[in-house]
Amino acid sequence: MKQNPGVELVAVVDCSAEQLAKAEELGVPRDACMTDLDEALGQIDADFVLDITPPAVHHIIAAKAFERGLHVLGEKPLSDNFDNALAALQKGRDAGVKHMITQNYRFGAPPRRAHRLLKEGIIGAPEQCDMRFYMNWADLPETHYVTQPYMLINDMVVHHFDLMRYVLDANPTTVQAITWNQSWGWHAGDAAHAIVFEFKGGLHATHVSCGCAVGSMTPWNGDWRIEGASGSLDWVGDRIYHNHRHKTDTPVENKEIEIPEVPPPDQAILDEFVAAIREDREPECSAADNIHSMAMVFGAIRSAEEGRRVEIAELLDA
């Protein structure tokens, strides 16, 4: 928040005395370090709430803020329950306030560049996108990441689904998923999967993941390959390469694409949120936009549970 001169931290609400003590060290007055959100909302003059609570209570925090006419910048995911996500979206609309979700991955330099490259047609219309993610994810016993079902998809892979929508500039129409757990895994819910999304126009995207990897790891963004009639984009780590080696008179082999610097994602999110409030417009990653990423999450979970291909419209049009 210190990076944005237009934002002032006026209060902190937490049930942990240790966390409130840290807030005091950051300069928050003691009487503005509180343990009850309702009390804080009634006493503190604020413009928005920054919600970094666990996913199960995001819709509750948002509703309390909306009742007071406050904007909300909420930690992803929008909720751990799709009905609650839809309810939070509607309550924000009814209140006429801004509701943005912190999908910070899409604000990084490589996805911004990949999005522009596809818009410019560097490989033609993309028809296949493959993502791989292998990570020793959430190895913290007794946390909700470990004890609750499908948390890899709901809390981590939602980043990748949102990235997929942003980079490809498209929303999927169907999803089919298979999920499982490795014998050595530490998650109660399935933490490995193979998921296929279909889009209009013949585009297909896959996401293959293991959240209890103990060997080599991918970057947090995953490894990407996007294929079109004029070649491929390979996004690995912080680098993007263009290849076109077949059916072309001008072959391109591992041409590295320059990636301009962008503001740090956390700063970019706050700047976008504040600008949307001042300009009275929808922010990027608004709840209205993010509900499509959530539909990918819960569509994949429904597919895994019911063993069938799921139409995304089943969730959005319910």
Same structural domain, 161 and 250: yes
Q: Note whether 46 and 7 are within 8 A (CB).
A: no
Q: Stretch 285-301: mean pLDDT, rounded?
A: 98
- With respect to residue 3, please indicate whether it lies within any of the assigned structural domains: no
Same structural domain, 147 and 246: yes
Same structural domain, 100 and 113: no
Buried b (16+ CB within 10 A) or exposed e, 180-218: ebeeebbbebbbbbebbbbbeeebbbebbbbbbbeeeeb
Same structural domain, 241 and 131: yes
- With respect to residue 163, please indicate whether it lies within any of the assigned structural domains: yes
- Helix, strand, or coil (residue 180): strand
Q: Stretch 111-137: mean pLDDT, rounded?
A: 98
Same structural domain, 66 and 166: no
Same structural domain, 95 and 156: no
User: Is residue 318 over pLDDT 80?
Assistant: no
Name the CA dihedral angle for 206, 254, 244, 198, rounded to a multiple of 10 degrees. Answer: 10
Same structural domain, 69 and 135: no
Same structural domain, 126 and 207: yes
- Helix, strand, or coil (residue 114): helix
- With respect to residue 170, please indicate whether it lies within any of the assigned structural domains: yes
- With respect to residue 60, please indicate whether it lies within any of the assigned structural domains: yes
**What pLDDT is recorded for position 262?**
97
**What pLDDT is recorded for position 297?**
98
- What span, in angstroms and rounded, lies between the C-alpha atoms of 157 and 287? 17
Q: Stretch 215-235: mean pLDDT, rounded?
A: 97
Same structural domain, 128 and 157: yes
Which domain, by its residues, includes 52? 12-104+266-286
Domain count for the chain: 2
Q: How far is CA 13 from CA 116, 158, 238, in A?
A: 40, 27, 36
User: Is residue 1 over pLDDT 80?
Assistant: no
- What span, in angstroms and rounded, lies between the C-alpha atoms of 241 and 232? 8
Same structural domain, 194 and 310: yes
Q: Residues near 100 by Cβ (< 8 Å), separated by ≥ 6?
A: 71, 72, 73, 74, 269, 272, 273, 276, 283, 284, 285, 286, 287
Q: Note whether 152 and 191 are within 8 A (CB).
A: yes
Q: How far is CA 126 from CA 10, 105, 168, 313, in A?
A: 46, 21, 8, 23
- With respect to residue 2, please indicate whether it lies within any of the assigned structural domains: no
Alpha helices by DSSP H, the chain: 17-25, 37-43, 58-67, 82-95, 109-119, 144-147, 151, 158-168, 265-279, 287-306, 313-316
User: Is residue 316 over pLDDT 90?
Assistant: yes
Q: What is the pLDDT of residues 173-201, one digit of tens each?
A: 999 999 999 999 999 999 999 999 999 99
How much is the mean pLDDT over the chain? 96
pLDDT confidence of 266, banded at 50, 70, 90?
very high
Alpha helices by DSSP H, 128-247: 144-147, 151, 158-168
- With respect to residue 282, please indicate whether it lies within any of the assigned structural domains: yes
Q: Stretch 145-154: mean pLDDT, rounded?
A: 92
Q: What percent of the chain has pLDDT over 90?
A: 93
Same structural domain, 129 and 216: yes
Q: Note whether 269 and 284 are within 8 A (CB).
A: no
User: Is residue 275 over pLDDT 70?
Assistant: yes
Q: What is the pLDDT of residues 44-100, one digit of tens each?
A: 999 999 999 999 999 999 999 999 999 999 999 999 999 999 999 999 999 999 999
DSSP tag of 286: B
User: Is residue 141 over pLDDT 90?
Assistant: no
pLDDT confidence of 2, banded at 50, 70, 90?
low
- What CATH number corresponds to the domain at position 16? 3.40.50.720
DSSP code per residue over 120-136 = TTBTBSEEEEEEEEE-B
pLDDT confidence of 133, banded at 50, 70, 90?
very high
pLDDT confidence of 3, banded at 50, 70, 90?
confident
- What CATH number corresponds to the domain at position 225? 3.30.360.10
Same structural domain, 250 and 202: yes
How many CA atoms lie less than 13 Å away from 201 in the CB half-sphere? 13
